[in-house]
Homo-oligomer: A and B are copies of this chain.
């Protein structure tokens, strides 16, 4: 336990952990104070995310960056999965779909771009393993194609079309899950050596013991999930108070807070010149949401939802996903980065965010 307490004592950010019990108490005592709950839940998620980042790095130090990135993406996306499952049970399929598309776009553009920028401000030119980045970009491309095709071949909204879209969605969901599983077999087993890191920076901190790291990972993930639920319940109304459109909330706000844990890890990796870790988290997380979380939700909608959910998205969301995937493929192509690459990627994200912020509500 002592490395954990020592960490908390030395890192002022972790003192925000005090807000975790506060947000639970507030949710119990004043369940309708949405703006208060929104602020408190964000304040509680930040230190939890920081703690998660340290624990993941400790595990990653033992397992290599690619496997560490995968591990981090898996645990980090529990937040998104919990959020989406809550909305699914309530039948709010528009919110589920917006948060899925938003998480993919935010991870691909904001997390990757900010990692490049933060790393680039400290290091002149950074290198990373492009084999790993290419595989994740390839998986993302496949997922984008699978989400694009139902919209591309159908236009009308007749009963035949709905039945066709529903059948197709189940088939595509199974395909995506199979592709995701084969991708893990490839990167963790048959071609593991290709995914080794490009180079390792020297590490200042001693990693935690593996047992403590794993226990912290598990415990903090549960806390993040619980706080996230309070966040989701409050965000929609709090956002309206701040004058944001529903499209902006679903795509940008939920995705940014939902991915806070992974972002802390990715940005810290970039500053430490371990860009493999950052790229692995950003693209790995995006492809996991696209190829695992989204299809699982489609299949689960038959069990726990009020009606089946399809993979058909709002056309604007498909265009944004396609552009995000293309951007990721172009910038990770040569395995090198500098600060301006990060600026370019963030600018694409800003174009999307600005569009969604100004979008008149009915269009969405």
Interface residues of A (CB under 8 A from B): 124-125, 134-135, 137-139, 141-142, 145-146, 148-150, 152-154, 156, 160-161, 164, 167-168, 171-172, 175, 178-179, 182-183, 186, 190-191, 194, 315-316, 319-320, 323, 326-327, 329-331, 333-334, 338-341, 343-344, 347-348, 350-352, 354-355, 358-360, 362-363
Contacts and interface: CB of A to CB of B under 8 A. Distances in A.
Contact of A168 (B135, B154, B343, B358): B358
Contact of A350 (B175, B183, B316, B320): B175
A134 B338 CA distance: 13
19 contacts: A124-B191, A125-B191, A141-B326, A141-B327, A142-B348, A145-B351, A149-B320, A150-B355, A152-B315, A164-B359, A164-B360, A168-B358, A171-B354, A171-B358, A182-B343, A183-B340, A186-B339, A186-B343, A191-B340
Given A138-B331, A142-B344, A164-B358, 18 more contacts: A141-B327, A141-B330, A142-B351, A152-B315, A153-B355, A153-B363, A160-B360, A161-B363, A164-B360, A168-B355, A168-B358, A171-B354, A178-B347, A182-B340, A186-B338, A186-B339, A190-B339, A329-B330
Contact of A351 (B124, B134, B146, B182): B146
Nearest to A130: B334
Nearest to A326: B141
B351 A172 contact: yes
Nearest to A124: B191
A16 to B, nearest CB: 32
B149 A344 contact: no
